């Protein structure tokens, strides 16, 4: 076996059904007495209800988290943190809310508890992506990693099928890139393969029966594993492109990842044969890029960035920005090939080998 380096991120994970009832207990273990709860506007009611589990530790609700973690929203939330004298944050929702909690923790080192309601997986990473002036910048820091994750399968039972699909595909993207990351190692590769397989079997079952508890549990389990993968090794082309597109055009996060992933995999296919073999096994397909495309499209996901709000003249500027501060990638970045890649994702066409 080749040599490798493995760093395990610390964190407490509680997985099951009804686990949200332990929220107050977990806050107490962190020594928190004035907890600020975070949510998006759409999930404010759900967050308020869940906050009841904090009892007297609940200090207030900030319900204005937004996609791609804009720095002006973080600044607004920070004012409430200071006003309330908050000593911990609880993020209830998907990646938007988790991102805001991470941004607050990065600035204050306050402890975080995350209660995921989607399959984002970002709760398991020490990575924060923030958007300012049309550019999304990522950073990694121990302060960003949440201390506790409460996975409650019951909170995902009403997640709409369309969001379940794109959220799950977003999670799969984390593990896909972990398999060919520069820092790839045997432990993370095992997690990646297991996480992808769990989601690949869960998402079609959820499409067939959204109330399938076993499928919902598999999806949440897979999302956690994929998140651990993203938080343990580096990112590559797919995430760079999505950070660029999201920051420039404010595209919806999970659907954007879903549309780009097959094309990013096709681009890297020849440069990462071992990773592709593991992906093929996890997905149960022979062609990984086409398999990912067919999985998502077959479950009803939009595969065209133009349908998500990307302008037609955005391809070249996106490539320019992506190449200006590129992530490591197994295949060197080629401007013309990247324009073809994003062009295909823009149009929603099937991926092409080596594109």
The pLDDT tens digits of the residues spanning 36-90 come to 999 999 999 999 999 999 999 999 999 999 998 999 999 999 999 999 999 999 9
pTM of the predicted protein model: 0.92
**Are 127 and 59 members of one domain?**
yes
Alpha-carbon gap, residue 350 to 294, rounded angstroms = 9
Pairing mode, strands 135-140 and 148-152: unpaired
**Are 295 and 146 members of one domain?**
no
Residue 281 · residue 171 · CB < 8 Å: no
The stretch 3-27 carries a mean pLDDT of 91
Residue 127 belongs to a domain: yes
Asked which of 137, 156, 175 is the last residue of a domain, the reply is: 156
3-state secondary structure of 58: strand
Asked whether the predicted pLDDT for residue 7 surpasses 50, the reply is yes
- CATH code for position 223: 1.20.1090.10
User: How far is CA 346 from each of CA 249, 261, 341, rounded to the nearest angstrom?
Assistant: 12, 12, 9
Residue 281 belongs to a domain: yes
**Are 215 and 334 members of one domain?**
yes
Tens digit of each residue's pLDDT (9 = 90 or more) over 287-320:
999 999 999 999 999 999 999 999 999 999 999 9
Instruction: From 100, 32, 29, select the one nearest 63 (Cα to Cα).
Output: 100
- Residue 102 has a pLDDT of 97
- What is the average pLDDT value for the chain, to the nearest integer? 94
Q: How many domains does the chain have?
A: 2
Residue 355 belongs to a domain: no
**Are 122 and 167 members of one domain?**
no
Residue 7 belongs to a domain: no
**Are 125 and 266 members of one domain?**
no
Asked which of 125, 156, 187 is the last residue of a domain, the reply is: 156
Alpha-carbon gap, residue 175 to 180, rounded angstroms = 9
Question: In terms of residue numbers, what domain contains 183?
Answer: 161-347
Asked whether the predicted pLDDT for residue 135 surpasses 90, the reply is no
Tens digit of each residue's pLDDT (9 = 90 or more) over 81-127:
999 999 999 999 999 999 999 999 999 999 999 999 999 888 999 99
- CA terminus-to-terminus distance, the chain: 31
**Are 85 and 216 members of one domain?**
no
Question: In percent, how much of the chain has pLDDT > 70?
Answer: 99
pLDDT band at 269 (very low <50, low <70, confident <90, very high): very high
Instruction: From 65, 60, 62, select the one nearest 35 (Cα to Cα).
Output: 60
The stretch 220-230 carries a mean pLDDT of 95
The stretch 245-271 carries a mean pLDDT of 95
Residue 352 belongs to a domain: no
Asked whether the predicted pLDDT for residue 353 surpasses 60, the reply is no
Residue 101 belongs to a domain: yes
- Residue 120 has a pLDDT of 86
Q: How many CA atoms lie within 13 A of 300 on its CB side?
A: 12
pLDDT band at 354 (very low <50, low <70, confident <90, very high): very low
Asked which of 100, 124, 156 is the last residue of a domain, the reply is: 156
Phi, psi of 144 (to 5 degrees): -80, -25
pLDDT band at 1 (very low <50, low <70, confident <90, very high): low
**Are 172 and 150 members of one domain?**
no
């Amino acid at each position: 076996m080749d040599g490798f380096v493995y760093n395990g991120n610390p964190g407490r994970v509680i997985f099951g059904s009804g686990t949200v009832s332990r929220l107050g207990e977990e806050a107490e273990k962190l020594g928190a007495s004035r907890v600020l709860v975070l949510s998006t506007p759409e999930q404010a009611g759900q967050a308020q209800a869940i906050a009841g589990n904090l009892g007297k530790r609940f200090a207030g609700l900030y319900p204005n988290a937004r996609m791609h973690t804009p720095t002006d929203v973080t600044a607004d939330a920070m004012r409430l943190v200071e006003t309330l004298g908050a000593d911990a944050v609880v993020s209830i929702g998907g990646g938007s809310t988790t991102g805001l909690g991470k941004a607050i923790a990065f600035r204050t080192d306050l402890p975080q508890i995350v209660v995921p309601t989607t399959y984002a997986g970002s709760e398991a990473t020490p990575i924060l992506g923030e958007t300012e002036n049309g550019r999304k910048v990522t950073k990694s820091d121990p302060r960003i990693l949440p201390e506790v994750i409460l996975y409650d399968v019951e909170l995902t039972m009403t997640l709409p099928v369309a969001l379940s699909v794109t959220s799950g595909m977003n999670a799969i993207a984390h593990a896909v890139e972990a398999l060919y990351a520069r820092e790839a190692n045997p432990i993370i590769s095992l997690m990646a393969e297991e996480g992808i397989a769990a989601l690949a079997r869960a998402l079609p079952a959820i499409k067939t029966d959204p109330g399938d508890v076993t499928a919902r549990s598999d999806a949440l389990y897979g999302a956690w594993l994929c998140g651990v993968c993203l938080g343990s090794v580096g990112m590559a082309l797919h995430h760079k492109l999505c950070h660029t597109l999201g920051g420039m055009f404010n595209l919806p996060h999970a659907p954007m990842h879903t549309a780009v992933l097959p094309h990013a995999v096709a681009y890297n296919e020849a440069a990462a044969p071992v990773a592709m073999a593991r992906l093929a096994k996890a997905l149960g397909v022979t062609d990984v890029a086409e398999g990912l495309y067919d999985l998502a499209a077959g479950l009803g996901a939009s595969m065209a960035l133009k349908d998500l709000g990307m302008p037609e003249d955005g391809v070249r500027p996106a490539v320019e920005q992506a190449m200006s501060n590129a992530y490591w990638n197994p295949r060197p970045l080629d401007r013309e090939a990247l324009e073809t890649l994003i062009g295909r994702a823009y149009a929603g066409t099937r991926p092409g080998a080596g594109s």
